[in-house]
């Protein structure tokens, strides 16, 4: 395991400038591969370390957000589908920019759904990108730090940690899916 951990930085160094470029592109094509943001950010911390992994993740997530904005303009059907998802998940709830930023840190919330909220709250592409960058900094830092922490754990602690996650994953699968109703937690005011 120790040899594996030592070989990864060597491979990254041998890839040179291409490794960060490929990592940033991985962020951009991540939605097509159905990979969660947290997985890519953790990989960034693991492969590039905390500082570089965070910087590359911020760049990649910002590029992805910009591409999302342009895709929504080019393909109105895509916007319709994301808007329907927004109606299913949030109903008629209005979120503030601060709430969207906090939801961006939660790995189970759809990234592009929150991007749609930002689009609807902003008046221009420039303002949207400004808020998108602000919204990806904290998740990038948190998730990349976790990826860096994994590399600093002894191999047996990492193995134990992943084993524990596998047990929790299995247990949650056995229990079945539980659907929580939004109204149960957030009661609507009578008008």
Secondary structure string (H, E, C) spanning the chain: CHHHHHHHHHHHHHHCCHHHHHHHHHHHHHHHHCCCHHHHHHHHHHHHCHHHHHHHHHHHHHHHHHHHHHHHHHCHHHHHHHHHHHHHHHCCCCCCHHHHHHHHCCCCCCHHHHHHHHHHHCCCHHHHHHHHHHHHHHHHHHHHHHHHHHHHCCHHHHHHHHHHHHHHHHHHHHHCCCCCCHHHHCCCCCC
As a whole number of angstroms, the distance between CA 91 and CA 95 comes to 11
**Global pTM value:** 0.73
Poorest-confidence range of 98-102, 135-139, 156-160, 176-180?
176-180
pLDDT band of residue 7 (cuts 50, 70, 90) is: low
pLDDT of residue 28: 92
pLDDT band of residue 169 (cuts 50, 70, 90) is: low
Percent with pLDDT over 70 in the chain: 83
As a whole number of angstroms, the distance between CA 177 and CA 62 comes to 33
């Amino acid at each position: 395991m120790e040899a594996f951990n030592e070989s990864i930085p060597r491979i990254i160094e041998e890839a040179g400038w291409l490794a960060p470029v490929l990592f940033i592109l991985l962020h951009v094509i991540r939605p097509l591969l159905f990979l969660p943001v947290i997985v890519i950010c953790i990989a960034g911390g693991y492969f590039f370390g905390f500082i570089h992994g965070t910087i590359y993740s911020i760049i990649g997530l910002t590029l992805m957000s910009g591409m999302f904005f342009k895709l929504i303009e080019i393909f109105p059907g895509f916007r319709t589908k994301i808007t329907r998802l927004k109606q299913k998940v949030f109903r008629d709830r209005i979120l503030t920019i601060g709430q969207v930023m906090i939801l961006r840190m939660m790995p189970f919330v759809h990234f592009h759904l929150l991007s749609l909220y930002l689009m609807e709250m902003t008046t221009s592409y420039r303002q949207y990108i400004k808020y998108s960058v602000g919204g990806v900094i904290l998740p990038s830092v948190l998730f990349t730090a976790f990826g860096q922490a994994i590399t600093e754990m002894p191999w047996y602690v990492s193995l134990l940690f992943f084993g524990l996650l596998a047990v929790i994953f299995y247990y949650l699968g056995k229990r079945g899916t539980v659907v929580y109703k939004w109204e149960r937690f957030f009661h609507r005011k009578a008008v």
